[in-house]
Amino acid sequence: MSEKLVSLAGVEKTFRRGTELVAALRGIDLDLPQGAFVGLAGPSGSGKSTLLNLIGGLDRPDRGEITVGNWPVSLLDERRIEAYRAAALGFVFQGFNLVPVFSAEENVELALIAKGLPGSTRRAEARRLLAEVGLGDRLEHRPGELSGGQQQRVAIARAMVGRPQLVLADEPTAALDDATTRQILDLMRSLNREHGTAFLISTHDPRVLERVDAVHRLADGRLA
Amino acid sequence: MMFWLAFALRNLRRNTRRSLFAIFVVAISAAAACLAAGYINATTHAVREEMIRGGVGHLQIATSAEFEGVAMRPFEHAMPAEIAAEATRAARAAPGHRFALPRLLGEALISNGDLAIGVAYAAIDPKREPSAMPRGLALVAGGLFGDDPHEIILGAELARRLGLKPGDDVTLLGSTTRGGVNASDVRLVGIFRTGVQEIDLRTAYVPLDFARDLARTDRVSRVALLLANTAETEATAARLAAALPGLAVKTWRELAPVVEQIRVMFIQQFTVFGAILALVVFLSVMSVVLAALMERVREVGTLRAIGLGRGRLAWVFLLEGAGLGVIGAVLGVGLAILVQIGLGFFRVMLPPPPGRSLPVPLLIAFDGWIAASVIGALVIIAAGAAVIASRRILSLKIVEALNHV
């Protein structure tokens, strides 16, 4: 068994909706090994995105502990949690979330700025990653000049460029057709194998679930 | 830095119409501020030079009592000849001096035979003074003094009331130092107009030797000093005060306090005007940046998710605001330069101000310092507005920003 990368113990999260309290996560215990390629499945509103947000340090749990590598995520202050996200994580969003005024190269470069790398190093790394995801000839193209699949490749390059331990992908194929979904999954899988980067993919897309190594299913805020 | 600067400038182009609106507001404000400051600059400079070259000079040397202006007898506090000569020598030895002009100031009645009017006369060096103080002797008829000492130059309003023209003879009736009365005929050689009604009605110039003969004195009331450079006034005054311990030295600021009063009045008006402009720029830039940010909430959330802190993003928004400020302010300064050139070309005249009879030209003279100050102030205001506008977006939780629709 590989060494543990992600560890969640008794994680709970409740949201207030109007006057009502809604329990999004109820006592989640979860361990993921280094280099995992795992799906997080469940219907809409089951808590998938909330769980990814908590692991990604984008939100705070009400209770429980979250550890990623050597980072005690649930205990970090804001300044350190920014450092954690920059150093240990990559994000892939359903809507790609690229900056429209930046070229593909600049969008990837963005993720390295938080690491304080010099411009020449950033650009070289961005080009290397874009070449690796098959967009070496699209460096100067802006998101509006790229197809949906190409945009998601840029987003994956941006997520991978800082050599993270874990990539959190939230419904990464929801906006893509079958052929493009296959290509994106192939790409994520090859990056997972070549770099040893773990992927936690939130989805209810069966095309994704049949390609991952393991699936954790969430229902009503609990892991099945 | 260049990366974020490029980001900021590209963001300004996302909604061109909105950015152009903010740039337009900043440009108009910058032009208005430059023109207002340039008007104040030109007007205060013109008033100052009018005073200095209209007779006040940069400095005047006299006894303290003479400056106070209270005397029991005519010419009581005027300087004796030897002291006046020493003061004149010291003034002519001062670095940067151009003219040192002894004057005797007195009062007299001027009569055309039918009508007599009281005047204040300035007895002057008939050769040097007209060259030194051209604005005080702006002739509208006749000429300057010739070689005959029995000549007089009158203000235009005084000549009009007495029905005089150059070449006419008048009688001047003045006091002597012992309190007696002396009269002498003089010929009107020139008529001047300053545009200040009171001066044009009550002032006469006569040659110094003639006035001394009329008053039976060799005294001098004041020695006026004209310098090559107005900025040297205070330093020269200090040197002369040290060199002439028994006399008082006063600068144009003390002799013509109206110059400073006008400057202070203008600055107070400009402060209110400037505050209104600043508020307009602040609100315009803030509304434009806020509108732009509302369309980029998810983008802000994404950037923060990938590790960029609030401070770095605030810096981007500051650059965007500053970009609007720089572009608008530079365009505004350019517009103000065009207006300044246009006003100079067409020579626009303003109606006579209170107490004056002549229209005055609309002068605008803003310099590099004013332009740089206006640009700097507007850039700071625009950048500050953008940062304040961004605070609300940056204070959102990342999850809220990412889920923003």
pLDDT in tens, A1-41: 468 999 999 999 999 888 888 899 999 999 999 999 999 99
User: How far is CA B240 from each of CA B56, B60, B125, rounded to the nearest angstrom?
Assistant: 17, 10, 21
Spatial contact of B172 and B110, defined as CB atoms under 8 Å apart: yes
Mean pLDDT of chain A: 91
- Taking CA B228 as the corner, what is the angle to CA B223 and CA B229, rounded to the nearest 5 degrees? 110
A172 touches chain B (CB under 8 A): no
Which run of H or E residues covers position B288? Answer: helix B258-294
CATH number at residue A139: 3.40.50.300
Position A78 scores a pLDDT of 84
Question: Which residues in chain B have their CB less than 8 angstroms from residue A85's CB?
Answer: 305-307
Position B321 scores a pLDDT of 92
* pLDDT > 90 in chain A, percent: 67
Q: A197 is in which domain, residue-wise? A: 4-223
Which run of H or E residues covers position A17? Answer: strand A4-17
A123 touches chain B (CB under 8 A): no
Position B191 scores a pLDDT of 95
Spatial contact of B44 and B237, defined as CB atoms under 8 Å apart: no
Residue A29, both tokens: 């215990």
pTM over 0.90? The answer is no
CB atoms within 10 A of CB B35: 21
Q: Report the candidate in A97, A171, A102, A92 with the shortest Cα–Cα distance to residue A133.
A: A92
Grouped pLDDT means (10 residues each) for chain B, 405 residues: 84 88 94 93 87 89 90 87 93 90 93 93 89 79 91 95 95 89 94 87 94 93 93 94 94 91 90 93 89 89 89 91 94 95 86 70 88 95 93 90 84
SS3 letters across B104-169: EEEEEEEECCCCEEEEEEEEECCCHHHHHCCCCCCEEEECCCCCCCCEEEEEHHHHHHHCCCCCCE
B264 touches chain A (CB under 8 A): no
Residue A42 CB contacts under 8 Å (≥ 6 apart), including other chains: A48, A204, A217, A218, A219
Mapped onto helix, strand or coil, the DSSP state of residue A40 is strand
CB atoms within 10 A of CB A15: 13
Give the chain B residue nearest A85 (alpha carbons). Answer: B307
ipTM higher than the 0.85 cut: yes
Give the chain B residue nearest A52 (alpha carbons). Answer: B399
Residue type, B86: E
> Do B308 and A110 make contact, defined as CB atoms within 8 angstroms?
yes
Mapped onto helix, strand or coil, the DSSP state of residue A39 is strand
Of B3, B306, B312, which has the smallest distance from its Cβ to A111's Cβ?
Answer: B306
> Do A158 and B309 make contact, defined as CB atoms within 8 angstroms?
no
Q: Which portions of chain A are predicted below pLDDT 50?
A: 1
- Taking CA B224 as the corner, what is the angle to CA B218 and CA B227, rounded to the nearest 5 degrees? 145
A87 touches chain B (CB under 8 A): yes
What's the number of domains chain A is made of?
1
A24 touches chain B (CB under 8 A): no
> Do B10 and A85 make contact, defined as CB atoms within 8 angstroms?
no
